[in-house]
Amino acid sequence: MKPEELSPLNLAYLGDAVFELMVRERLVSGSTESVDRLFHKSKNLVSASAQSKSYFRLYDHLSHDEQLIAKRGRNSKSSSKNKNASVMEYRYATGLEALFGFLYLSGKMDRLEEVFAMCIADWECIL
């Protein structure tokens, strides 16, 4: 399967899972907190609002091709509605998720880790 041939929404669908897994892995790494506490932290970090902020934080640090993938995801029309985020936050979050899905399927794990590190740069107080 060639990632560039998938729809941006399919990339975002997979990218959502990749992003959440990375957040959860980061949260449990060396943590002694309860699963309930970890769940609430991850819920806040994987939200459309937080992902939208991450999109803006890292956009200028992306390659041209990565920016195109993120834009395709952002501009995709989804039938899903998010009750906790604005339409624009949801769209930017979808762009971020599409990028994560693309990098994952492309096997660019080092770059995926770099992009994730940019996303969580100011989360240290939460993590």
Catalytic pick from 16, 60, 110, 122? 16
Query: Would you give the DSSP letter of residue 28?
Result: H
Q: Is 87 part of any domain?
A: yes
Q: What is the mean pLDDT of the chain?
A: 89
Q: Is 52 part of any domain?
A: yes
Amino acid, res. 98? A
Separation between Cα atoms, residue 32 and residue 21, nearest integer Å: 18
Q: Is 126 part of any domain?
A: no
Render pLDDT for 72-106 as a digit per residue (tens, 0 to 9). 999 987 666 666 778 888 899 999 999 999 999 99
Render pLDDT for 11-50 as a digit per residue (tens, 0 to 9). 999 999 999 999 999 989 878 888 998 888 888 888 888 9
Query: Would you give the DSSP letter of residue 63?
Result: -
Separation between Cα atoms, residue 78 and residue 70, nearest integer Å: 15
Range of the structural domain that residue 96 is part of = 3-119
| Tokens, residue 65 | 């091709």
Q: Is 127 part of any domain?
A: no
Separation between Cα atoms, residue 121 and residue 96, nearest integer Å: 15
Q: What is the pLDDT of residue 2?
A: 86
Q: Is 125 part of any domain?
A: no
Q: Is 16 a catalytic residue?
A: yes
68 Cβ contact list (under 8 Å, min separation 6): none
Q: What is the pLDDT of residue 80?
A: 64
Q: What is the pLDDT of residue 56?
A: 92
CATH number at residue 93: 1.10.1520.10
Q: Is 124 part of any domain?
A: no
Helices (H), ranges, 29-108: 35-45, 48-58, 64-75, 87-105
The answer, yes or no, to whether residue 126 has pLDDT greater than 60, is no
Q: Is 110 part of any domain?
A: yes
Q: What is the pLDDT of residue 8?
A: 93
Q: What is the pLDDT of residue 107?
A: 96
Q: Which of 2, 52, 6, 44 is nearest to 24 (CA)?
A: 44
Domain tally, the chain: 1
pTM: 0.90
